Amino acid sequence: MAEGSLRVRLLCCAPDHWLAPAEIAWDANGRIVGLRRARRGTRIRDLAVLPGLVNGHAHLQLGPLAAAPRTFLPWVRAVLAARVGETPRSFRARAAAAVTELQADGTTAVGEIDGTGLSGPVLARRGLAGRCYQELFGFHLDERAANALVRARHAVRSGALARGLSPHAPHTTSPALLRAAARASRFLSIHCAETAEEQQFLHTGRGPFADLLSELGRLPAGFRPPRCGAVTLLARLGVLRPTTQLIHAQHLERGDSATIRDSGAALVVCPGTIAWFRRPLPPVPSWLRQGIPVGLGTDSVASNERLSMRAELSAAAAAWPELPPAMVFAMATTHAARGLGVAAGRLRHGGRADCFAVGAGTDSPAQVLAAVVHGHAATVATWTAGRRTTALPR
Ligand SMILES: [Zn+2]
């Protein structure tokens, strides 16, 4: 890596903090050592530089499905079937290609759900920041088996990325596994209240998920449902805390958002996945008003057309038009970073030089943010830890 600098017409340290014209300089480790107004008489590039985007939730090893059902249970079965025939090499190759796709339009950090233990070093080698959560499944696991699984998975290396655990969801992980994960790691990522069938299963012990678990041999004999919704169950188990992120939250029940807010946990929504399954829009503006951090994520290409945080920004801006561009941008930067518990999503002295550029023209900061959020200004270059990962126009 080499030290470097950029002098540009506009620099967004955070949506409410801009420098114009500006100079950003970084050292050989990719750490920002200068962030200031540019001196007169120097060459200023006609660019606006913004903090790198933070993808709050992704599964970068998953590929597109051959048959791509748009309803959830058939989709789950297709995902399970697609794993057959995969190899460590194919998983690594797909994760590396996914990083290239994400970096191309401005993503520099990710919350990766690592199903195999192979993602961390691949992502770190490409300079990506963020957190790598080891995925945990096992609705049938008792305390002893849960502890053994958590010990093994928590020992997996994550390269330079921060570590975490992802007990998949309340209907696919046993209470013992959720508790064991929470004991082993402060940082948890959990799919939560994604479908009505998940809530039905937790309330009644019946429905399509009961059938699927029993077919997979994972419904313990004598199983008794908790008779509450997903959020209540997670709160009872003590796994809702400020370092927990909950993914999707499509089917929250009365009082759930207050429970989430009081716990300090964060939410992540994936507009591409919402469109894929033609789901109703969750009440993101209301969650934000309550003070819950709400990040954006791409999820995987098994339930999204592409891996592009710029596309997620545009979809979010279209889905919740009442949100100002600065708030939508915050969802893809500071809010997503808050959910991951990592220092990303803003440019500051000592932080990583993670940023992307768009053409600036004569636009004001507000106009640049609106153009970025609505997809009217293409990403022309991305830097991860000061290393340019896309060509810079002359
Ligand atoms: Zn997911």
- CA–centroid distance, 251 to ligand 1, in Å, is 15
Rounded CA separation 168/49 (Å) = 36
Q: E strands within 122-240?
A: 129-136, 162-167, 188-192
pLDDT at 391: 64
- CA–centroid distance, 269 to ligand 1, in Å, is 10
Phi and psi at 138, nearest 5°, equal 145, 80
- Alpha carbons within 13 angstroms on the beta-carbon side of residue 78 total 16
Q: Are 246 and 264 in contact (CB under 8 A)?
A: no
Phi and psi at 232, nearest 5°, equal -60, -40
- CA–centroid distance, 5 to ligand 1, in Å, is 37
pLDDT of 394 > 60? The answer is no
- CA–centroid distance, 266 to ligand 1, in Å, is 15
pLDDT of 53 > 60? The answer is yes
- pLDDT bin (cut points 50, 70, 90) of residue 392 is low
pLDDT of 204 > 90? The answer is yes
**pLDDT tens sequence across 262-287:** 999 999 999 999 999 999 999 999 99
Mean pLDDT for the stretch of residues 217-236: 95
- CA–centroid distance, 117 to ligand 1, in Å, is 16
Mean pLDDT for the stretch of residues 330-339: 98
Rounded CA separation 203/247 (Å) = 20
pLDDT of 203 > 80? The answer is yes
- CA–centroid distance, 59 to ligand 1, in Å, is 6
Higher pLDDT, 82 or 366: 366
- CA–centroid distance, 368 to ligand 1, in Å, is 31
Mean pLDDT for the stretch of residues 123-132: 94
Average pLDDT, the chain: 94
- CA–centroid distance, 192 to ligand 1, in Å, is 10
Rounded CA separation 149/154 (Å) = 8
Rounded CA separation 299/297 (Å) = 6
Locate the domains of the chain by residue range: 4-51+349-388, 53-340
**Which CATH architecture best describes the domain 4-51+349-388?**
Roll (2.30)
Torsion angle, alpha carbons of 43, 44, 46, 47, to 10 = 130
pLDDT at 70: 82
Q: Which of 393, 258, 353 is nearest to 50 (CA)?
A: 353
- CA–centroid distance, 173 to ligand 1, in Å, is 15
Beta bridge partners of 129: 109
Through-space distance between the first and last CA atoms of the chain, rounded to whole angstroms: 22
Rounded CA separation 352/389 (Å) = 15
Indicate the fold that domain 53-340 takes in CATH. TIM Barrel (3.20.20)
Q: Out of 21-25, 48-52, 386-390, which region has the weakest mean confidence (pLDDT)?
A: 386-390
- CA–centroid distance, 80 to ligand 1, in Å, is 14
| Planar angle of CA 250, 251, 255, nearest 5 degrees | 120
Q: Extract the tokens encoding 187.
A: 């940082």
Mean pLDDT for the stretch of residues 226-232: 98
pLDDT at 77: 85
Mean pLDDT for the stretch of residues 156-181: 95
- CA–centroid distance, 29 to ligand 1, in Å, is 32
Q: How would you class 26 by CB atoms within 10 Å of its CB: exposed for 0-12, middle for 13-18, buried for 19 or more? A: buried
pLDDT at 389: 84
pLDDT of 41 > 80? The answer is no
Q: Extract the tokens encoding 335.
A: 């809010």
Q: Extract the tokens encoding 300.
A: 């995987």
Q: What letter represents residue 206's amino acid?
A: R
- CA–centroid distance, 134 to ligand 1, in Å, is 12
Q: Are 125 and 155 in contact (CB under 8 A)?
A: no
- CA–centroid distance, 191 to ligand 1, in Å, is 7
Q: Extract the tokens encoding 370.
A: 């609106």
Rounded CA separation 72/38 (Å) = 52
**pLDDT tens sequence across 285-323:** 999 999 999 999 999 998 898 999 999 999 999 999 999
- CA–centroid distance, 106 to ligand 1, in Å, is 21
- CA–centroid distance, 65 to ligand 1, in Å, is 15
- pLDDT bin (cut points 50, 70, 90) of residue 33 is very high
pLDDT at 393: 60
pLDDT at 71: 85
Query: What is the gyration radius of the CA atoms in the chain, in angstroms?
Result: 21
Phi and psi at 207, nearest 5°, equal 110, -175
Rounded CA separation 116/91 (Å) = 8
- CA–centroid distance, 271 to ligand 1, in Å, is 12
Cα dihedral sign, 162-110-295-32? positive
pLDDT at 175: 97
- CA–centroid distance, 375 to ligand 1, in Å, is 24
- pLDDT bin (cut points 50, 70, 90) of residue 342 is very high
| Planar angle of CA 242, 244, 250, nearest 5 degrees | 115
Q: Which of 243, 204, 245, 255 is nearest to 113 (CA)?
A: 245
- CA–centroid distance, 48 to ligand 1, in Å, is 32
- CA–centroid distance, 21 to ligand 1, in Å, is 40
- CA–centroid distance, 131 to ligand 1, in Å, is 14
- CA–centroid distance, 270 to ligand 1, in Å, is 9
